[in-house]
Structures are given as C-alpha cells and as structure tokens.
C-alpha cells in the first residue's frame, strides 16, 4: 500500500516560492491502480517524485507499505526504493550496455552486497518476467535494437524484479502510438492485479482512465478531484479541461 | 561490477584507447626507469656492495659540496674515527680516475680503487689485491683492455700485474681497477705532482656514539652507504633529472586517467541517475567506477610492463638498461595507484548525480 498524508512540496523560484504540491493526500491499496492526471506543470511529476522517495516533501508524510519514507539517510532511502518501490520512467531509461535480460538482472546487483537471491534464481525470475511482458524472444537484445514499445515493456518488467509493494508509473504511453500505448496500460493493470501491488500512475492519456480503480486530478498543486472509476468519464474530463 | 564489466565490453573501443594510453605511458616509464637504474649502476655499482655502517668523506671546503672527487681524508682523521666509541673498524679507501694502458696498446679511463689487502668491508665475491704491484680488474676493464690474468698494465708510468678479474664494478661510468692502497697513494702523488693523500674515504663498521661530534672533531662528513652516493656528482645529477622525469610521467598518467574517467562519468551521468533512482547504493556505484578503472589500469600497465621487458631484452648490451622489479613492478604499481587516485576525482559526478533527474531523463 502507498499512502500520502497531507504532503506539501515547495520550490524556491527567484525571490519567491512555488508550491508544487499543496497538502495532497491519497491512498492506494494493494492490487489497485490509481491514475493522476492534470495539465502540464500542475505538480503531477512532483507528486510522483515524492511518492517514489526521489524527493522529500517539506510537509506531510509518505508511507510505503506502512513504512514512513522520510527522515532516513540516503542509503536507507535507496534501500527502501530498491526493495519496496518499482519505478517505471516516462522514457524507458535502459542501460545501453545491458541486454533486456541483464536490465532485469541488474536489480539484484544494486546494493552494497548482492541480494539473497542466487544468480541462477535471478536469471529464472528475469526470464519469467520478460515472458510475462511478452519479450521472451528478446532477452539477449540490447536497447538499441528494441522498439519503443519493447523498451517500455523491459522498463516495466525491471520494476517488478524485486517484488515491490508499490508500483510508480510516469506517463508510460507518452512516446507510444495508440495501439502500443493501450497494450502497455493493459499490461500494467494485469501486473497490478496479478502481483498485488499498489500502483500510482501519472498520465495525460485519458483513453485509459475508465480502466483505473480511481482517478485524481492535479491542478496547481492541489489534488482537487477524486473519483472512482465507475463514475461517468465525461465528468472528470470537464474538470481536467 | 555488474554494469562496469558490461560497459567494458560494450564501449571496448573507448576503453581500448585509454588502456593503450596507459600502456604507452607504462612503456615510457619502464624505459626511463630501466635507463635510470642502468645509469645508476654505471655510476655506483662499485660502491653499493660496501658492507659498512658509514662512509666518511673529508669535510668540503667553504662554498663546495660534499664530493668523492674532492675528498682527501687524513690519516689523523682515520685514527680519530678508529678510536671513537661505538666504532668497530675503519678501513681507508682511495679513489682516483686515471688513464690505463695495456701492453697491447689498448687504453681505458678507469677508476683506481686503493684498499689494504686486509680490506673486508665489501661483499665476499669481490676479489682484493694482496700483493704490491698487482691489480684486480673489473670485467668491464678487462674487456676494454683485452688482457688476461698475468698480463701487465701501465698506470701513470708504473707497471702492474693483473692478478685477477672480479665482478663487474663501475664508478662514475668507468670500469674499476682495484690496487693496494700504498700503490694507489704513489700513483695519485705522481698524477697530481703533490704529496700522496692518505685516502679518499673511510669505510666504517659500527656506529659512533656521537657521529656529529666525531665529524666535527675529525673534519669529516659521514653518512650511511646509500646516502653517501649523493656525493658522486654524476650520479646525483643524472638521478635527479631522471627521477624528475619519472615523477612527471607518473603525474601525467594520473591526470590522463582522471580526465578520461571524468569525461566517461559525465557521459554516464543520466545512467547513474537512473541507477540511483532504481535504488543503487552509492557504494555499489563507487565500486563499479573504481573497479572499471582498476581493470583498465591493470590491463594497460600489464601489457606496458610486458612490452618494456621484451624491448629491454632486445637492446644491445652496451645500453645501460636494467630490467628488475624495481624498474617494472614498482613503477607499474605506482601507475595503478596514481591512476586510481585520478579516477577517484571522477567520483564527484557519481556522488552528485541526482536520482530525481531520472524522471525526466531520456536515455535509450
């Protein structure tokens, strides 16, 4: 589960201060997927950065699987991210020198010492995840020979390597066509359900919002609209525009 | 080292380039080191086998530096040293450079070392002349003069019988000829047309209780054997300039390695931010960066040492070049250590990389 309680984040801006997040609160339960939408510059990315512990908010708290994310050292925060949070970046951000399989195996080598999982277990798990995202035939391909959709699938599979409790996804379809974008969203939803993770997804793409369990809208740092997915899609679209 | 190993294979062209630079610098350092050691041997190989606690030279005149060439130790000074508390034995040593001619008209400029027949302050493999009018040649002098044991050589009008040929010993780039101290004293007297000096130096066994007071009383300057070598002018000047070149080369190699890895790390800064965002610990990133530099350095230095040894073995014997752990392994290890220090400067980029930037990064 991921929980944000009254989170406030400000940035210095010249002589003044910009409030990126203004007392935002939300909860995402395991197996559920919550989308955050809103116009550019509304604070969505800042909210995602706070939720994924990449930035510490000045006010409020972020709880990842019941653990308060603030007040830790940099190495403790890195450990929390490594063990509890799967991040899917807007761009795949794959490591150029690694094959698809190695991008996943990498997750077992990020700590000061290798994880308890053995090398063969890591390989089995990585192979299984690549198969789950439909890339079983591309395990030994490097990013430069994979398509945009395939790279994004590797990005998603990598986020699940360490069995995270929380899945944070940033605009996963922004650089994909409609067909591939839909396939990626369906994959994220399927993995959220099958692996019972709490998924927080930032998107501009309204097409897939009816598939979400909850939709929040961010405007000028305020998480102003919160509605269940069963409600009428047109309603939130009016708010967002 | 998970990413580091794969980067080495993926960007092998770039890493081969920097390894080649390391190789060439190692080759240069190895050559310079071998030459330095070779030249040093040509200067001091007759002195380094002395088994003594101190070498005593005459106090230099006002405005002059301590020098074997100018040193003239008196018999009085030898007596004072021998009587000093803590001193076990004092043996006089005479050194002079002279022109030597063989009966076959071969000539050589040699260093004449005068010692008593009882001289013991040297490694046992060095033969010492026991009879007046005899000399022991170093291998180099024998080769130059083309003489055998029993042949005659002429030194400043006096004939000497070659009584033996001992190990190769050189002093100030000349071959050494050992002769009895009394013969040495008369040769110098003739050569300089002045009263015979007692000796050039005293070779002392035992450590005097108060060396400074003894030096002041006997008007001498005493040093351990290795430190006394700095009183050989040619050795001091050659070693000084070559050591400076070696130091500069090692410094340059550290800078080159540091510059390469700084550029490489800056190129990877987005990737490092992504790794941090994924939860990479700083220690694992530092280990990766330094491990990568270590591998490149070991390959470059290893190949450089191999080439130095091969090239050194192919050099003509006349070239004063020495291949030893001191001229290959020691500078090699120094290259690796300094290279790692250079690479460590690139770690600032690793430590500063902000994982937040990964959210907006657009890698592959």
- pLDDT at residue A238 in the model: 37
Separation of alpha carbons A90 and A181, rounded Å = 12
The number of residues in chain B equals 364
Tell me how many residue pairs between chain A and chain B have CB atoms under 8 A apart: 104
Separation of alpha carbons B68 and B71, rounded Å = 5
Work out the mean pLDDT of chain A and round it to a whole number: 85
Using the beta-carbon criterion (under 8 Å), do B284 and A107 form an inter-chain contact?
A: no
Distance from CA of A7 to the nearest CA of B (A): 17
Separation of alpha carbons B272 and B278, rounded Å = 10
Using the beta-carbon criterion (under 8 Å), do B363 and A94 form an inter-chain contact?
A: yes
First CA to last CA distance, chain B: 21
- pLDDT at residue B157 in the model: 87
Residue B231 Rama label (left phi>0; alpha psi -120 to 50; beta): alpha
- pLDDT at residue A240 in the model: 39
CB B26 within 8 A of CB B257: no
Mean pLDDT value across residues A67-93: 88
**A50-68 pLDDT, tens digit each:** 999 999 898 999 999 888 8
- pLDDT at residue B364 in the model: 45
**DSSP per position, A4-46:** EEEEEEEEEETTEEEEEEEEEEEEE-TT-EEEEE--TTSSHHH
Phi first, then psi: give them for residue B251, nearest 5 degrees: -65, -45
**A17-59 pLDDT, tens digit each:** 888 898 999 999 999 999 999 888 888 888 999 999 999 898 9
Average pLDDT of each block of 10 consecutive residues along chain B (364 residues)? Answer: 89 91 91 87 84 92 89 94 93 94 92 90 84 93 92 92 89 92 93 89 92 93 90 85 86 84 84 90 88 93 95 86 88 89 84 82 47
CB B315 within 8 A of CB B350: no
- pLDDT at residue A232 in the model: 47
Residue A97 Rama label (left phi>0; alpha psi -120 to 50; beta): alpha
Separation of alpha carbons A192 and B272, rounded Å = 28
- pLDDT at residue A34 in the model: 93
**A96-123 pLDDT, tens digit each:** 999 999 999 998 888 765 555 678 888 9
Distance from CA of A230 to the nearest CA of B (A): 30
pLDDT greater than 50 at residue A235: no
**Which site among B279, B281, B285, B360 would you substitute to test the A interface, given the most A Cβ atoms closer than 10 Å to its Cβ?**
B279
How many other C-beta atoms are found inside a 10 Å radius of the C-beta of residue A118?
11
Using the beta-carbon criterion (under 8 Å), do B279 and A90 form an inter-chain contact?
A: no
- pLDDT at residue A234 in the model: 46
Separation of alpha carbons B88 and A94, rounded Å = 76
Alpha helices by DSSP H, listed for A160-219, are: 178-194
- pLDDT at residue A117 in the model: 65
Nearest to B6 among A85, A89, A98 (CB): A98
Separation of alpha carbons A217 and A239, rounded Å = 8
CB B320 within 8 A of CB B41: yes
- pLDDT at residue A233 in the model: 46
CA–CA distances in Å: residue B328 to residues A206, B243, B295, B321: 68, 15, 18, 12
- pLDDT at residue A236 in the model: 42
Nearest to B3 among A95, A111, A158 (CB): A95
Window 133-152 of A, Cβ < 8 Å to B: 142-144, 151
- pLDDT at residue B215 in the model: 93
- pLDDT at residue A116 in the model: 56
- pLDDT at residue B354 in the model: 86
Q: What is the layout of strands, in order, in the sheet containing A2-13?
A: A16-28, A2-13, A59-64, A67-68
């Amino acid at each position: 589960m991921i929980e944000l309680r009254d989170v406030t984040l400000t940035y210095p801006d010249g002589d003044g201060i910009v409030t990126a997040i203004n007392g935002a609160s939300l909860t995402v339960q395991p197996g559920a997927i919550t989308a955050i939408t809103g116009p550019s510059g509304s604070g969505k990315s800042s909210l995602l950065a706070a939720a994924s512990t990449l930035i510490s908010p000045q006010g409020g708290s972020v709880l990842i699987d019941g653990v308060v994310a603030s007040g830790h050292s940099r190495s403790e925060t890195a450990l929390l991210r490594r063990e509890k949070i799967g991040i899917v970046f807007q761009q795949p951000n794959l490591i150029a020198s690694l094959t698809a399989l190695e991008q996943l195996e990498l997750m077992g080598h990020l700590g000061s010492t290798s994880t308890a999982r053995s090398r063969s277990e890591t390989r089995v798990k990585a192979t299984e995840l690549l198969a789950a995202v439909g890339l079983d035939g591309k395990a030994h391909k490097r990013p430069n020979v994979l398509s945009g959709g395939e790279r994004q699938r590797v990005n998603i599979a990598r986020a699940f390597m360490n069995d995270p409790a929380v899945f944070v996804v940033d605009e996963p379809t922004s650089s994909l066509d409609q067909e591939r974008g839909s396939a990626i969203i369906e994959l994220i939803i399927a993995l959220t359900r099958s692996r019972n993770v709490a998924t927080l997804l930032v998107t501009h793409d309204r097409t897939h919002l009816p598939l979400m369990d909850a939709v929040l809208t961010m405007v000028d740092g305020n998480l102003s609209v919160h509605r269940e997915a069963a409600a009428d899609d047109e309603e939130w679209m009016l708010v967002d525009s | 080292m998970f990413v580091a190993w794969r980067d080495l294979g993926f960007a092998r062209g770039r890493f081969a380039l920097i390894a080649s630079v390391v190789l060439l610098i190692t080759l240069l350092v190895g050559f310079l080191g071998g030459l330095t050691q070779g030249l040093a041997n040509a200067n001091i190989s007759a002195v380094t086998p002395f088994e003594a606690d101190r070498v005593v030279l005459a106090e230099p005149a006002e405005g002059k530096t301590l020098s074997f060439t100018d040193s003239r130790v008196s018999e009085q000074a030898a007596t004072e040293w021998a009587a000093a508390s803590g001193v076990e034995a004092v043996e006089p040593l005479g050194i002079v450079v002279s022109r030597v001619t063989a009966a076959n008209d071969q000539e050589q400029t040699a260093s004449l070392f005068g010692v008593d027949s009882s001289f013991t302050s040297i490694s046992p493999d060095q033969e010492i002349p026991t009879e007046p009018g005899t000399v022991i040649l170093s291998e180099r002098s024998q080769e130059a003069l083309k003489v055998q044991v029993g042949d005659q050589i002429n030194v400043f009008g006096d004939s000497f019988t070659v009584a033996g040929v001992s190990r190769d010993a050189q002093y100030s780039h000349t071959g050494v000829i050992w002769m009895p101290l009394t013969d040495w004293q008369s040769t110098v007297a003739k050569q300089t047309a002045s009263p015979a000096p007692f000796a050039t130096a005293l070779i002392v066994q035992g450590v005097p209780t108060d060396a400074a007071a003894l030096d002041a009383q006997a008007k001498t300057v005493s040093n351990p054997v290795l430190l006394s070598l700095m009183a050989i002018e040619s050795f001091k000047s050659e070693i000084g300039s070559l050591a400076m070149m070696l130091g500069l080369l090692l410094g340059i190699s550290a800078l080159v390695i540091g510059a390469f890895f700084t550029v490489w790390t800056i190129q990877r800064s987005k990737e490092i931010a992504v790794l941090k965002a994924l939860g990479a610990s700083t220690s694992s990133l530092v280990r990766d960066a330094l491990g990568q530099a270590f591998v490149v350095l070991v390959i470059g230095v290893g190949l450089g040492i191999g080439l130095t040894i091969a090239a050194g073995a192919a050099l003509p014997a006349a070239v004063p070049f020495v291949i030893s752990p001191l001229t290959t392994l020691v500078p090699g290890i120094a290259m690796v250590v300094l290279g790692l220090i250079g690479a460590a400067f690139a770690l600032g980029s690793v430590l500063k990389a902000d994982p937040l930037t990964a959210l907006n990064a657009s890698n592959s």
